[in-house]
Amino acid sequence: MSRLPVLKPEGNVPESQHLPPEESLPVLLTRSDEALGFFERKLSGALGWARANSLFQYPFVTACCGMEYMSVMAGRYDLARFGAEYPRFTPRQADLLMIVGTINVKQTPVLKRVYEQMTEPKWVMAFGVCASSGGFYDNYATTQGADRVIPVDVYVPGCPPRPEQVLDGLKILQEKIRSQRHQLHTVEKSREIEDADEEKKKRFLGKWLNR
């Protein structure tokens, strides 16, 4: 039997989330799979749309980039146009952690704690070169990039970045959120159940092909 094409997830999914071809899902779709896929796509679209357009941010402002953050939030550049309207000053209500400024070693555990206090789903934006890589603070006191301790979704370079760059970064992040896939099964199937399912599928297929 020749290999059937791998199902491609919809949208602009980042490379890292592509399914490897060997382990990719169904060889042939059953009707229930098809239906599930349909609902998954619908659900993913709806959730992605909702999440991408209501990003509540937690601004972790530590340094001079804060000035640019203010300008991005204020009327002229107006981050609210992209749905990132409310800065929430408690991490528990925030979706997007914006690391705005230099993170030094003494502060790093605090950043980690703030990240861990945020509820899922959560995203992180490194705002400025200091948060992205330590910037020119290549010295004893500065953490060389916030990604040494927490995962970062989008890096906005610049010292400080212009507001347009931040808006661009936000749109890239929104694109990423929109194209995320959401599974209807939140609980992963165990290996045995999956194998049994495979068996069932094969038997079913065999019947069809032998007919």
Partner 1 sequence: MAQSLIDLLRETHPDAIVSTPGHRGDEVVVVRREQLVDVCRFLKEDPRTDLKLLAQIAGVDLLTYATEATGGGALASIEVPAYDLERKRPVEPRYQVAYNLGSVVKKHRLRLRLELRSDDMKIPTVTGIWRTADWWERYIYDMFGVEFVGHPNLTRIMMYPEFQGFPLRKDYPVRKRQPLVPELDFPDLVRGPGPGPGGAGVPMSQTHVGRANVDPDAYD
CA distance 33 to 198: 13
CA distance 182 to 51: 12
The binder of ligand SF4 chosen from 65, 98, 103, 124 (CB under 6 A) = 65
The binder of partner 1 chosen from 110, 159, 184, 196 (CB under 8 A) = 110
Q: Does 63 bind ligand SF4 (CB under 6 A)?
A: yes
Token code pair at residue 104:
């030094």
What is the nearest approach in angstroms of ligand SF4 to the Cβ of residue 30?
A: 53
CB atoms within 10 A of CB 111: 22
Buried b (16+ CB within 10 A) or exposed e, 42-73: eebeebbeebbeebebbbbbbbebbebbebbb
Q: Does 174 bind partner 1 (CB under 8 A)?
A: no
The binder of ligand SF4 chosen from 48, 101, 145, 169 (CB under 6 A) = 101
CA distance 169 to 155: 7
How many of the chain's residues bind partner 1 (CB under 8 A)? 15
DSSP state at residue 156: E
Q: Does 143 bind partner 1 (CB under 8 A)?
A: yes
Q: Does 151 bind partner 1 (CB under 8 A)?
A: no
Residues of this chain that bind partner 1 (CB under 8 A): 105-106, 108-110, 112-113, 138-141, 143-144, 148-149
Residues of this chain that bind ligand SF4 (CB under 6 A): 63-65, 101-102, 128-130, 135, 159-160
